[in-house]
């Protein structure tokens, strides 16, 4: 395998997804490189979450090929898919925690499903993950309903890294957080990406996150990845939505605050 191929941890080619007559993606291509944080942006309903779900094999595309770690996500046996799935973690938009389980039990859930571990070892490992995402010790035994929104997101992140994945998929992790909570979550993503060597597939609307932590940005528009590149590259893209998004007042504010932080 050529070096460039090894570098490419996710490869999507000619993806077509549709629900009935509603075509969401039509010939979408995307490469994600090992070790990068790629921000996936686009207007509401452009198919960011659907793309995430297709990549992790939760949704069957009408056409196209999706490879993760060089292996097709669909043309696999159940055992192969289970082995693949162990190598990534997903944090869905609302955290998707089990409400009847405590935080630690939520983090233990994928371990219980995938690993043969003695219960006390599983508990210890889950407790470590809970600490790694910055939750206090006493959050472990709480139920999701007893946590703030920001804490629930951290718990969802802890569950996404339960199996020491190589890739984490995060679906709008900072949505609904106040700016300080959102910035703290960005820092957490960046720190864990560095410490664990993660590749991060980040669906977001948050321009601050794009500036603060993303190596590259992929823009979904017109049913495909319209542009992919650095934030600087995005400023050159001639498309109405991209212009509005990356040159609008919110973009200018996000850029100004990232420059201020960089200078501090």
C-beta of 19 vs 98, nearer to ligand ATP: 19
Stretch of residues binding ligand ATP (CB under 6 A), selected from 27-35, 40-48, 149-157, 229-237:
40-48
50 binds ligand ATP (CB under 6 A): yes
Per the DSSP assignment, residues forming a β-bridge with 156 are none
193 binds ligand ATP (CB under 6 A): no
Q: Give the x-and-dash track for 6-35 against ligand ATP (CB under 6 A).
A: -------------x----x-----------
C-beta of 51 vs 161, nearer to ligand ATP: 51
Rule CB under 6 A: choose which of 12, 49, 88, 224 binds ligand ATP.
49
46 binds ligand ATP (CB under 6 A): yes
199 binds ligand ATP (CB under 6 A): no
44 binds ligand ATP (CB under 6 A): yes
C-beta of 35 vs 149, nearer to ligand ATP: 149
At its nearest, how many Å lie between ligand ATP and the CB of residue 147?
23
Stretch of residues binding ligand ATP (CB under 6 A), selected from 5-13, 43-51, 109-117, 247-255:
43-51
**Residues lying near ligand ATP in the complex (CB under 6 A):** 19, 24, 42, 44-50
């Amino acid at each position: 395998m050529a070096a460039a191929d090894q570098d490419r941890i996710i490869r999507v080619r000619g993806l077509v997804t549709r629900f009935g007559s509603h075509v969401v993606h039509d010939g979408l291509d995307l490469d994600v490189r090992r070790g990068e944080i790629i921000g996936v942006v686009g207007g509401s309903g452009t198919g960011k979450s659907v793309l995430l779900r297709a990549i992790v094999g939760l949704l069957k595309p009408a056409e196209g090929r999706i490879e993760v770690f060089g292996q097709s996500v669909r043309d696999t046996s159940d055992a192969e898919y289970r082995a693949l799935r162990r190598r990534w973690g997903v944090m869905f938009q609302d955290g998707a925690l089990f409400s009847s389980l405590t935080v630690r039990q939520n983090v233990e859930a994928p371990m219980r499903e995938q690993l043969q571990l003695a219960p006390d070892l599983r508990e210890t490992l889950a407790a470590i993950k809970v600490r790694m995402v910055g939750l206090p010790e006493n959050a472990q035994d709480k139920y999701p309903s007893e946590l703030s929104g920001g804490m629930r997101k951290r718990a969802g992140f802890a569950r996404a890294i339960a199996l020491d994945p190589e890739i984490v998929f995060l679906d709008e992790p900072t949505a609904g957080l106040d700016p300080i909570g959102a910035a703290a979550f960005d820092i957490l993503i960046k720190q864990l990406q560095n410490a664990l060597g993660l590749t991060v597939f980040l669906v977001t609307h948050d321009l601050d996150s794009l500036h603060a932590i993303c190596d590259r940005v992929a823009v979904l528009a017109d049913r495909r990845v319209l542009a992919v590149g650095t934030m600087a590259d995005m400023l050159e893209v001639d498309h109405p939505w991209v212009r509005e998004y990356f040159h609008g007042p919110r973009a200018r504010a996000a850029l100004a605050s990232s420059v201020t932080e960089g200078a501090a």
